[in-house]
A and B are shown apart, each in its own frame.
Chain A
Amino acid sequence: MAGSMAPLTDEELIGMLAEGDENALRILVERYSASIYRFSVRYTGDESLAEDVAQEVFFRLFLHAKKFTSGRSFRTWLFTIVRNVGIDLARPYSHRKSFSVRLGKDSVGEDFAPESIANGSPTQEERMTAQERQRMVIEMLQDLPEKQRAAIVLKYYEDMSTKEIAEVLGKSVSSVEALLARGKRNLAKSLKL
């Protein structure tokens, strides 16, 4: 019988969470914790902060669950909270220049030349492992201004539309389009392209 039941929607779960239902919390965590983890690592550049961010996000979901209006997209509401928590928790460490992304043991080779990507030369790029590329991208993202970084991460890793990103950032669609273009231009500069 249980197998034939339709899964609870996010809206239903958030209603249950408002009443303190821990089962609703468990389901929401299962659905979104990986996504929040990945966003946090890319957004803050600090893997060790990601768990704190996720905990705080789900606790704030519980605290503000009654404020969620059913007409709104749950996902954009969730990522608005994730971004706010990321800003709050990353702020004390914002002065840091090096980031503690521990995704691979090896550092990026000194002979790596990012322009090879633009040249279409595969040799240098292919030498990089996937983990090294991962780390390099995350470190480059940290050099972007906050809104550009958020827009790029939501676009490329959360597959959000420009309209959804605009909702998360509280900006107009055209502002987000400009943020994305400026973000790419700055990333190209970081890559010395």
Chain B
Amino acid sequence: MRCQKWAVEISKLLEGELSAEREAELRRHLESCRHCQSLEARFRAVSDLLNSPPELPVPDFFAQRITASVSERMRHHSGSRFARATGVLRYRFRVAVMAVTLMVGLLIGGLAGRDIATLAQVGPARPSYDLLVLGEFSAQSGPVDYGLIWHDHGEGGSP
């Protein structure tokens, strides 16, 4: 345990990450310390073992499978985002349509109401040409004769 502080230095030495000054100091210590000599040998064996295996083989079509599955998830995610966005828009559109319908309804209703009021006051507008049905009525039995005539009222005149 007395050489605990050297463990990191030995590890760094094997990784080539020790400064020249620290390396010289460590090597002086290693000359006289059997414990650290043993530690260095064990660390070196571990490093050799870690470095020895060849590259792990990657399964065939690995990249293609990853690209295909992630692309699909991306599309699905973007689609969901679009659906959420358009869902809000659809709601707003419905509200706008209802508002416009209401306004148009009120406008038409208002105009119609004004026409009805006008009609009540002045009566229906008369056409310039009118089809009149003339009939003769007897007091007892109703119409006994009738006929159709075109009657030209003229310009705003009355028959």
Partner-B contacts on A (CB < 8 A): 20, 22, 25-26, 29-30, 33-34, 37-38, 41-42, 51, 54-55, 58-59, 62-63, 103, 114, 117-118, 130, 133-134, 137, 152, 155-156, 162, 177-178, 180-182, 184-185, 187-188, 191, 193
Contacts and interface: CB of A to CB of B under 8 A. Distances in A.
Given A118-B42, A178-B8, A22 B56 contact: no
B48 A62 contact: no
Contacts of A191: 45-46, 49
Contacts, number: 113
B66 A193 contact: no
B50 A59 contact: no
B21 interface: no
Interface string B37-68: 00101110111111111111011001101110
Given A118-B41, A177-B12, A181-B11, A55 B66 contact: yes
Interface residues of B, number: 37
A20 B46 CA distance: 44
Nearest to B81: A20
B70 A62 contact: yes
A34 B51 contact: no
A10 to B, nearest CB: 16
B25 interface: no
Contacts of A177: 8, 11-12
Does more than half of chain B's interface fall in helix, strand or loop, or is it mixed? Answer: helix
Nearest to A128: B52
A59 B70 contact: yes
Given A156-B50, A181-B10, A33 B41 contact: no
Interface string B54-91: 11101100110111011101100110000000000000
Given A25-B71, A38-B58, A155-B15, A33 B53 contact: no
Contact of A51 (B42, B55, B65, B73): B65
B7 interface: yes
Contacts of A54: 62, 66
Nearest to A189: B42
B56 A41 contact: yes
A179 to B, nearest CB: 10
Given A180-B8, A184-B46, 20 more contacts: A26-B67, A30-B63, A34-B58, A38-B55, A38-B56, A55-B69, A55-B73, A58-B70, A59-B74, A62-B77, A118-B42, A130-B52, A155-B15, A156-B47, A156-B51, A178-B8, A181-B7, A185-B42, A188-B45, A193-B45
Contacts of A30: 63
A20 B48 CA distance: 44
Nearest to B65: A51
9 contacts: A29-B67, A33-B63, A37-B62, A58-B66, A62-B70, A103-B56, A130-B53, A185-B7, A188-B43
Contacts of B7: 181-182, 185
A42 B7 CA distance: 24
A152 B53 contact: no
Given A118-B42, A178-B8, A152 B66 contact: no
